[in-house]
Amino acid sequence: MKKSAALLACFALALSSCAAAPKDTSLKAQLDFENNYITLPLDEYDRSDQALDITVRASLLIRKECYAKKGYDFEILENGWVSRGASQYGSWNVKHAANHYTSSKVREEQYRIYESIPEDVKDSCHEEHREELDALKFDEAHEEKYRPVERIRGEAYQRAQGDPEWKKARSDWWDCQREKGLTPRTGDGEWTSKETARMASLNSDDPKVLEEKIRLATIEAQCSEKVRLAQRLGDLEASYQGPLIEKNQALLNNLKAERDAKIAKAREIIATHQ
């Protein structure tokens, strides 16, 4: 069944033959430890975390200015309405290991601040700035547009997973976890230790629970940094994305143009509304 499913996926995607999975090893993942981003080549064409973060921030600044003119203060919290959640390879960034568990509280507070603005004021500002806000928004219509990007991303990920280096990198990570007293989970989609998985259902409002969750995430991130897990896996994905991007360049260029226009508009707004 698995073999048949793989063959069907290859034909459906029509991206390349199943027998040959070309790589471009000159392409690398870019790890931004300061801002907690993992950037792959395909992100240049996609609604990446970076693209969403900058466009959302610009839209918030537009709203903030409008609310202020109507007598309402709208505070934009640091990390209050952004992703900062690059975790496709588990906990990988020691500096941000705690963020996964603490940023949700910041987002809740940001949402509370937003909800404190009267609905009629929010509606009025949206109407007054509809054109600007729509120019920034990745709306539901874009879901269909970006579906080919997701197919390419999925195909590249599948190929990377099948690469021996993928398994070697994960094995090195697991070995480090064992050395630190943790029990790694080794399923394809499992990116935490068993200890972390057992803590998942416990309430992080309990300071002791939160402390333990952060401790475990930090250990996993330390091991990831030690064996360069995110860099090695990201480089593999990047190497398989490259040939697929090249094969679908015309389609992707159109998406990139739309994405870049939104980002350029967002940067212009951020520069003039701070």
In eight-state DSSP terms, residue 25 is: T
Closest CA to 262 of 23, 3, 52, 15: 52
The pLDDT, as a whole number, for residue 16 is: 44
Q: Is residue 15 assigned to a domain?
A: no
| Three-class secondary structure of residue 240 per DSSP | helix
Is residue 228 one of the residues assigned to a domain? yes
Query: Residue range 47-56: average pLDDT?
Result: 87
pLDDT at 11: 43
Q: How far, in Å, CA of 89 to CA of 158, rounded? A: 14
pLDDT per residue as tens digits for the range 70-85: 999 999 887 656 555 5
pLDDT at 100 over 90: no
| Amino acid 2: pLDDT | 35
Q: Is residue 171 included in any domain, yes or no?
A: yes
18 lies in a domain? Answer: no
Residue-wise pLDDT tens digits, 198-217: 998 898 889 999 999 999 99
Residue percentage of the chain with pLDDT more than 90: 66
CA separation, residue 213 to residues 157, 181, 201, 220 (Å)? 28, 15, 11, 11
pLDDT tens for each residue of 116-160: 999 999 999 999 999 999 999 887 667 788 888 999 999 999 999
Lowest mean pLDDT among 13-17, 153-157, 186-190: 13-17
Portion of the chain with pLDDT greater than 70, in percent: 88
Enter the tokens of residue 91. Answer: 């906990």
Give residue 81's pLDDT. Answer: 62
Structural domain that includes position 170: 30-273
Query: What are residue 30's DSSP bridge partners?
Result: 39
Q: Which of 51-55, 134-138, 239-243, 256-260 tops mean pLDDT? A: 239-243
First to last CA, the chain: 56
256 part of a folded domain: yes
**Residue 3 within a domain:** no
- The dihedral through the CA atoms of 87, 90, 92, 94 has a sign that is positive
What's the predicted TM-score (pTM) here? 0.84
- Which of 15-24, 134-143, 172-181, 192-201 is modeled with the greatest confidence? 172-181
Q: How many domains does the chain have?
A: 1
The per-residue pLDDT for range 218-238, each reduced to its tens digit, is 999 999 999 999 999 999 999
In a domain, 5, yes or no: no
Q: Tell me what pLDDT residue 269 has.
A: 95
